[in-house]
Amino acid sequence: MARFPQELAHAFAGVFPRSDPYTPVWDPSKVNALERSADEDQHSDSAAMSAMYALMKTYGGMERCLGRLSGSLLTVQDEKRQLQRDFNSEVERLQAELARVTQERDQVV
């Protein structure tokens, strides 16, 4: 590592996915990992910038995933609240029915 820091930095940046890492299929780079891609060249002017670009792309994918999970969690919580309201109203209806039936029974006896 100490002998070839530039090559190591380029190889490190070349192992990151080229697209959203949360897609079901990962399309790895078709170029040599030791050579920077055109996309990396466009967004960086050094190996450190290339690594930072790849890291930020990964962070962006994770942030999108967290946003989707947060949205799903809110949906599930809303559904749970609705189920609880439905359950509570059904319990109230059954209690009222039980009270009515009990009162009818007491009047007959």
- Domain residue spans of the chain: 5-108
Whether the CB-CB separation of 14 and 53 falls below 8 Å is answered with no
Whether the CB-CB separation of 37 and 29 falls below 8 Å is answered with yes
Cα–Cα distance, 36 to 15 (Å, whole number): 11
> What is the biggest distance separating any 2 CA atoms in the chain, rounded to whole angstroms?
100
Residue whose token pair is 């890291």: 55
pLDDT, tens digit, 9 for 90 and up, residues 36-64: 566 555 656 666 777 777 788 888 888 88
pTM: 0.46
Q: Is the pLDDT of residue 107 over 60?
A: yes
Q: Is the pLDDT of residue 78 over 50?
A: yes
Q: Is the pLDDT of residue 32 over 60?
A: no
Cα–Cα distance, 10 to 4 (Å, whole number): 10
DSSP 44: -
- Size of the chain, expressed as the number of residues it contains: 109
Lowest mean pLDDT among 10-14, 51-55, 74-78: 10-14
Q: How much of the chain, in percent, has pLDDT values that exceed 70?
A: 57
Q: In the structure encoding, which two tokens stand for residue 102, read together?
A: 């009990």
